[in-house]
């Protein structure tokens, strides 16, 4: 997307893994990566959807209880990150364990790897190595291929949902990124938050929800703001 940090992308691409490339790591379940992080966990709409499913609550409750939000400086899109308690621990952590472990955010599930979306309309997903938790690099450390790691945590099965999220994100972001931040009205922010994070029926497939939200946000932008969004 046009608001990517080019230097950061170049650094990531230097460490991209192919399917059979290996890295060494073993999670000790110490919870250090869930406490006092230097950077917060940024959530996608898919993450919010899956957390709501795990907790059996509405997406509104997920945003209200477990996240804090702001408007991106470059993308001018609403961004939500996991909220931390006063002691620095993740708001989803209980007694040292993640309360949504099976449905935890993808960026948590793929740790110690990172990912970046490339290609036409960000539909090409790349995984890369990054600085890992030191506790996972000592003791009985395992060697993993990228393919095995993604299969272990069912990340490969989430890629179609991630691409649906990218389609929604890209279509809106291509319009908001070139705009002056002061021209992003509260009404526009509310419409984007609804389409990107809130308007999900967790009994339906995520892809079907996204398609409905694309139709909704397209109509709102056209009728209210006289802006055409392109999701093709």
Q: For the segment 106-131, what is each residue's pLDDT rounded down to a tens digit?
A: 989 888 888 887 766 656 788 998 87
Task: Tell me if 150 is assigned to some domain.
Answer: yes
pLDDT tens digits, residue range 59-95?
Answer: 999 999 999 999 999 999 999 999 999 999 999 999 8
Q: Residue 121's pLDDT is what?
A: 60
Task: Tell me if 232 is assigned to some domain.
Answer: no
How many domains does one find in the chain? 1
Task: Tell me if 4 is assigned to some domain.
Answer: no
Q: Residue 2's pLDDT is what?
A: 41
Task: Tell me if 127 is assigned to some domain.
Answer: yes
Task: Tell me if 159 is assigned to some domain.
Answer: yes
Q: Residue 1's pLDDT is what?
A: 40
Question: Structure pTM?
Answer: 0.87
Q: Identify the domain containing residue 179 by its residue range.
A: 10-225
State which residues of the chain have pLDDT below 70: 1-9, 119-123, 132, 134-140
Q: Residue 132's pLDDT is what?
A: 66
Q: Do 121 and 166 contact (CB within 8 A), yes or no? A: yes
Q: Residue 158's pLDDT is what?
A: 85
Task: Tell me if 5 is assigned to some domain.
Answer: no
Task: Tell me if 105 is assigned to some domain.
Answer: yes
Q: Residue 30's pLDDT is what?
A: 78
């Amino acid at each position: 997307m046009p608001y990517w940090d080019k230097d950061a992308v170049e650094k990531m691409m230097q460490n991209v893994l192919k399917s059979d490339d290996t890295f060494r790591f073993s999670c000790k379940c110490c919870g250090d990566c869930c406490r006092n992080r230097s950077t917060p966990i940024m959530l996608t709409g898919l993450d919010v959807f899956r957390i709501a499913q795990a907790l059996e609550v509405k997406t509104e409750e997920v945003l209200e209880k477990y996240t804090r939000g702001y408007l991106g400086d470059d993308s001018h899109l609403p961004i939500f990150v996991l909220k931390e308690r006063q002691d620095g621990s993740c708001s989803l952590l209980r007694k040292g364990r993640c309360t949504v472990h099976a449905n935890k955010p993808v960026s948590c599930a793929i740790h110690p790897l990172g990912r970046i979306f490339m290609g036409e309309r960000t539909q090409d997903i790349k995984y890369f190595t990054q600085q890992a938790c030191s506790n996972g690099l000592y003791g009985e450390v395992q060697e993993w291929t990228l393919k095995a790691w993604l299969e272990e945590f069912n990340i490969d099965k989430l890629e179609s949902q991630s691409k649906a999220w990218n389609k929604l994100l890209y279509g809106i972001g291509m319009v908001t990124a070139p705009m002056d931040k002061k021209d992003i009205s509260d009404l526009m922010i509310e419409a984007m938050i609804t389409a990107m994070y809130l308007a999900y029926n967790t009994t339906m497939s995520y892809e079907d929800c996204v398609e409905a939200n694309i139709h909704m946000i397209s109509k709102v932008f056209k009728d209210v703001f006289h802006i055409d969004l392109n999701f093709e």
